[in-house]
Amino acid sequence: MDRIFEPKVELIYQKDFSFDAGSIQDSSMALFVKNGIVEIPGETEFFGDIPLPISQDINEVYLTVWVKGADEGGMHITLTNTEQTFAKISSEVVKQDGNWKQFHCYAQVSDAFLNDTLHFKIWNQARKDLEIDRIRLQGMNRSFESVDE
């Protein structure tokens, strides 16, 4: 009999921001909400600061955001801790719906950052006018179970 290891992923934390429903936790975004979306003017290079608490059970994080007006390479999702010793940047698009693109960012979180808070921001490197909607932050625990075949 062979023994294999199968991954097991458990969702520990999830926070959704849908601006038409008024779920704004970040006061810096509240000023920019118009008609249920966040409008970021082109002169704004960094935007938002949504905290993602990392409990001792979280070892992976996944973020998605829908953006209109951005291109891959010109807009980035950034994820850093308060001391700036952890950083993950992604400008990858995973879905498109008309002019809207869903950007995502995945990061493994080492034990050194347990009980820390990571901060999600948008880096508008191309300095374009952007529209933002439907942000999702997830913290997960990935483990492996041994299974007899």
- The count of domains in the chain is 1
Weakest-pLDDT range from 14-23, 64-73, 97-106, 119-128: 14-23
Query: Strand pairing partners for 1?
Result: none
37-41: Cβ within 8 A, 24+ apart? 37/68, 37/131, 37/132, 37/133, 38/131, 38/132, 38/133, 39/129, 39/130, 39/131, 39/132, 40/122, 40/124, 40/129, 40/130, 40/131, 40/132, 41/129
Residue 104 counted as domain residue: yes
Tell me, what CATH number does 13's domain have? 2.60.120
Instruction: Supply the range of the domain harboring residue 101.
Output: 4-144
pLDDT reading at 31 higher than 90: no
pLDDT reading at 27 higher than 70: no
Residue 149 counted as domain residue: no
pTM of the model: 0.83
SS3 assignment, position 100:
strand
